[in-house]
Amino acid sequence: MNVHNHTSLTAKTLIVLESGGKPPARLSGHEELAEIGEQIQFDAEIIDSFDVAGCLPRHFDLLVVCAAIEFADRRWKRSRAWARSFILHVPVIDLERWQKPAVQHALRRALYFLTGDTWQFNFFRAKNRSPIGARQIPLDFDKTKKVAIAYSDGLDSRAVTGLSGGEEEALCIRVAGTRQRRQKNDSPFERIPFDTRNYRKNESSFRSRSFKFAAITAMAAQLYQVSRVVVPESGQGALGPAILPLHNVYADYRNHPAFFRRMEQFLQALLDWEVKFQQPRLWHTKGQTLRDFLHLPGKNYLHLTQTHSCWQTRRIVNDGYRKQCGLCAACLLRRQSMYAAGIDEEPGVYVISDLREALLGQALMPVAEKADRDIMIEYGSVGARHLQHLADLAIRPDELLRTHASQIATATGETLDGTTRKLRAMLSAHADEWRAYRSELGSNSFLNDWMDGGRNG
């Protein structure tokens, strides 16, 4: 793992305060405060309702730690050297547990691998020893669930939940700061109340997002005595960002099996609970996952079209109605995969609707501001190149794939040769799907012009 040297970094310090807590008399330019109930927010009524056996102090502490990590990750912008160094002061109820060397080591190890940053934690005893409340109202879930799944409104979540037994067997957990309505054809899900707000978010990479989802889904799984957590991401999304990192950017391990092995070690040390993260679609493309979902009894394309894949949250995709940009890497992979599965989407789903357009300026007409158009071009050209480079790997010699295959094999417990074959098969399937989608767009498409060396149309 190639990580930059951290010794010369000036540490950024976050001090988490309990609700109404008194801040230090003086703060330096490298210190920030986050108060529970202000910048860190939970919905106590929902937390109260987890289980008759009760949400233990370690569970509430884990929510606070996740929030502190998210705050720090998003508050301080990265330099060109990528890596940052953090010191987090966090109040916890179960102090003895968080101070265990095994917990501290596993926590730092998982975060270092995931984010490329160094993390130091100073845990101190919370004064409020009963933050969860006294109410104990069980959720309306039966005890027949076999797996837990971090359930977003994306394609993989919807499809893999169905492939994992559907609502009868899958405990769907959505981590969200606001109450969310269940959409048509959506599986029932339980929202875990979680939000950080009221501070300036200067960093967009947000690598710790996967830590939050994995930790909170595993916490819910323990409360329901479910030991398996399904990671829904298909092969391109799980492995592609780590195999093909951007220039001068630390490899993205957010859905990589090597990260989940580290999370298992941390969660077992903290929760005394042996949880296993499983990736049933690791060796499948998103298109193959969608096709397999459509073969399930009673499922059709309407169960998939009301999902959301776009990364962007800017005004051009939220102008009165939440749309998808249509041109970022996530949107392009969605469009490729929908085409591979034989699904036609309505034209109004995407801001940039017509990728067959020869003139880039014509395709970008729905985007009024030049600055927004420039950002869309950057997103689109980078996303398209990523999908093309991933396809190009399918014909590379085995020895060039073995570095990545070795890391995956170590994490999954499979042989190097077997992992190399599976990796090549997934990449070949992606290459076929990407080639077919490009052909469908036609030779005059501005997107194909990009792939042939053009950029600005």
Q: Per-residue confidence at 348, pLDDT binned at 50, 70, 90?
A: confident
Rounded to 5 degrees, φ, ψ at 357 are -60, 135
| Residues contacting residue 66 through CB under 8 Å, at least 6 positions apart | 194, 211, 212, 215, 216
> How far, CA to CA in Å, does 283 sit from each of 237, 270, 405, 425, 433?
11, 31, 12, 8, 15
- Residue 283 confidence (pLDDT): 98
> How far, CA to CA in Å, does 405 sit from each of 231, 277, 279, 280, 395?
19, 19, 16, 17, 15
> How far, CA to CA in Å, does 436 sit from each of 48, 336, 340, 430, 442?
51, 8, 8, 10, 10
Q: Which amino acid is at 209?
A: R
Q: How far apart are CA 160 and CA 293, in angstroms?
A: 7
pLDDT higher than 50, residue 216: yes
pLDDT for 264-287, tens place per residue?
999 999 999 999 999 999 999 999
The torsion defined by the Cα of 82, 282, 385 and 441, in degrees rounded to 10, comes to -150
- 34 in helix, strand or coil? strand
The position carrying tokens 């929760």 is: 271
DSSP state string for 301-335: THHHHT-------SGGG-SSS--B-S-SHHHHHHH
Q: The whole model's pTM is what?
A: 0.89
* Arithmetic mean of pLDDT over the chain: 86
- Residue 8 confidence (pLDDT): 43
**Contact yes or no for 333/236 (Cβ under 8 A):** yes
Please name the helix (run of DSSP H) or strand (run of DSSP E) that holds residue 73, with its range, or none: helix 57-75
In DSSP terms, 40 is beta-bridged to: 36, 196
Q: How far apart are CA 46 and CA 137, in angstroms?
A: 9
257-271 vs 101-115: helix crossing angle, rounded to 10: 160
Q: Which two tokens stand for residue 246?
A: 């951007």
pLDDT for 396-418, tens place per residue?
999 989 999 999 999 999 999 99
Q: How far apart are CA 288 and CA 429, in angstroms?
A: 9
pLDDT higher than 90, residue 29: no
Q: Which two tokens stand for residue 269?
A: 């040390």
Q: Over pLDDT 90: what percentage of the chain? A: 56
Please name the helix (run of DSSP H) or strand (run of DSSP E) that holds residue 243, with its range, or none: helix 235-243
